[in-house]
């Protein structure tokens, strides 16, 4: 049995992966494909090598659809609620292949057009400045709850055209967390997650109804029009609306927290915002906020980078580890803001790659530079080793999909007037 090498196993912990401790780890002689145990006693093959990851992301042999052999167990994992509720969340481009995936990706692309991307990118700096101005005189804040999560919801609401009542209800929900797939039936965590899913599905159907009553030039109305033309059902619609919401919001917040954690772990690095901005591509490689998406399923027997895979085997492509492959990047666990990165996997690869890497990169850049330039004397309010990480990212797999981010990021800064902070954040004037 091929198991993770000791260095690879250590880097599964995001706290290690994003700290100077990780720089001492060398994985050059460790397998790029290995078996990882799951909490229920089963396993998944895990791809941590860069070349193997690109191949698995690009080949139909590794399917995202749970209708393939081996998919039934993953469907059972995902049943936090009755099938109509579950199918109103999971029937998106994330979990399909071939023609079904192309149809659903086109549905998402109807909302994420070049015009809406350009408008969101144009508005991002001023929206971020307004959000920072709201906390300017406090001297302390949680950059997740008080700044970044509200900011990305502002962007999504404008981009997709959510009515005011819908965005109010979205804001009232907890951040969407990686799914506790392996919790036993009836456990408090699984019950809580199921209740949040039901509330989200109710909200999604109310959103469709509102946009059908009053269609406009917004993203949701565009998806409704395309669905009507092509015969897609409402579960495909709600799943795609949900997928686009997550895609625009969650990775940006996870990036901000992990980027600041990584910078603060190296004294002095965050004190030069210009150098940080020049190193954005390296920060995206280094943090890789969507670390490990849901598993793929093997569709035929094959030998793959030293492992023998059978049909129905589950394979997790760990993007965060693949972006640390020493055969692809020199000293990959070192954060080097002057590095010429080239191609990496921060926004994945293949048919399921990010719908708009340019918007993702722009929003990540905006939030990070806004806080570094807008908030003077910015510092963590607690020691870095006391900061809480998102569930499932600090060791072996316990949830999917795995994100790399902090659950909260309490900070202190020098209080200032709203106008001064807004001006610094919007213009980049230190």
Compute how many other C-beta atoms are within 10 angstroms of the C-beta atom of residue 87. 17
Q: How confident is the model at residue 428 (pLDDT cuts 50, 70, 90)?
A: low
Q: How far apart are CA 352 and CA 355, in angstroms?
A: 8
Q: How far apart are CA 80 and CA 192, in angstroms?
A: 9
CATH number of 6-427: 1.10.630.10
Please compute the mean of the pLDDT values over residues 163-192 and round it to a whole number. 91
Per mean pLDDT, which range of 93-97, 295-299, 303-307, 417-421 is the poorest? Answer: 417-421
Provide the whole-model pTM.
Answer: 0.96
User: What angle in degrees, to the nearest 10, is found between the helix axes of 188-213 and 234-264?
Assistant: 120
Q: How far apart are CA 228 and CA 236, in angstroms?
A: 12
Neighbouring residues of 88: CB distance < 8 A, sequence distance ≥ 6: 201, 204, 205, 234, 235, 238, 239
| Residue 430 pLDDT exceeds 50 | no
Task: Determine the length of the chain.
Answer: 430
Listed by start position, the domains of the chain span 6-427
Please compute the mean of the pLDDT values over residues 20-36 and round it to a whole number. 96
- Output the six-digit token pair for 332: 């990959």
Please compute the mean of the pLDDT values over residues 259-269 and round it to a whole number. 96
Please compute the mean of the pLDDT values over residues 294-315 and round it to a whole number. 96
Q: How confident is the model at residue 107 (pLDDT cuts 50, 70, 90)?
A: very high
């Amino acid at each position: 049995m091929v198991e993770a090498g000791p260095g690879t196993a250590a880097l599964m912990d995001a706290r290690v992966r994003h700290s100077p401790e990780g720089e001492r780890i060398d994985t050059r002689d460790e397998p790029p494909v290995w078996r990882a145990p799951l909490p229920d006693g089963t396993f998944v093959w895990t791809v941590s090598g860069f070349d193997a990851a690109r191949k698995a992301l690009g080949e139909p042999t590794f399917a995202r659809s749970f209708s393939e052999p081996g998919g039934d167990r993953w469907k059972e994992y995902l049943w936090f609620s009755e099938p109509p509720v579950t199918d109103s969340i999971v029937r998106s481009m994330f979990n399909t292949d071939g023609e079904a995936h192309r149809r659903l990706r086109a549905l998402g692309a109807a909302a994420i057009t070049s015009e809406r991307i350009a408008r969101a990118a144009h508005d991002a700096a001023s929206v971020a400045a307004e959000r920072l101005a709201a906390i300017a005189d406090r001297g302390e804040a949680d950059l997740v709850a008080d700044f970044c999560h509200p900011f990305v919801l502002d962007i999504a609401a404008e981009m997709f055209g959510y009515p005011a009542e819908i965005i109010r209800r979205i804001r009232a929900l907890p951040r969407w967390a990686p799914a506790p797939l392996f919790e036993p039936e009836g456990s408090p965590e699984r019950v809580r997650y199921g209740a949040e899913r039901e509330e989200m599905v109710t909200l999604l159907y109310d959103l469709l109804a509102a946009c059908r009553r009053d269609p406009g030039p917004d993203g949701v109305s565009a998806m409704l029009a395309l669905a009507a033309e092509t015969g897609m059902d409402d579960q495909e619609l709600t799943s795609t609306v949900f997928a686009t919401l997550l895609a625009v919001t969650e990775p940006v917040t996870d990036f901000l927290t992990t980027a600041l954690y990584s910078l603060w772990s190296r004294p002095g690095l965050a004190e030069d915002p210009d150098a940080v901005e020049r190193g954005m591509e390296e920060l995206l490689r280094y943090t890789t906020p969507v670390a490990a998406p849901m598993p793929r399923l093997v569709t035929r027997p094959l030998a793959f980078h030293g492992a023998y895979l059978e049909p129905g085997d589950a394979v997790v492509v760990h993007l965060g580890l693949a972006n640390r492959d020493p055969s692809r990047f020199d000293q990959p666990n070192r954060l080097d803001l002057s590095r010429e990165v080239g191609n990496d996997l921060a926004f994945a690869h293949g048919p399921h790659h990010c719908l708009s890497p340019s918007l993702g990169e722009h929003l990540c850049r905006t939030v990070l530079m806004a806080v570094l330039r807008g908030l003077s004397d910015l510092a963590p309010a607690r020691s870095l080793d006391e900061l809480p990480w998102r569930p499932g990212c600090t060791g072996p797999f316990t949830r999917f999909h795995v994100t790399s981010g902090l659950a909260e990021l309490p900070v202190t800064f020098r209080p200032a007037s709203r106008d001064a902070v807004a001006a610094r954040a919007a213009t980049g004037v230190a």
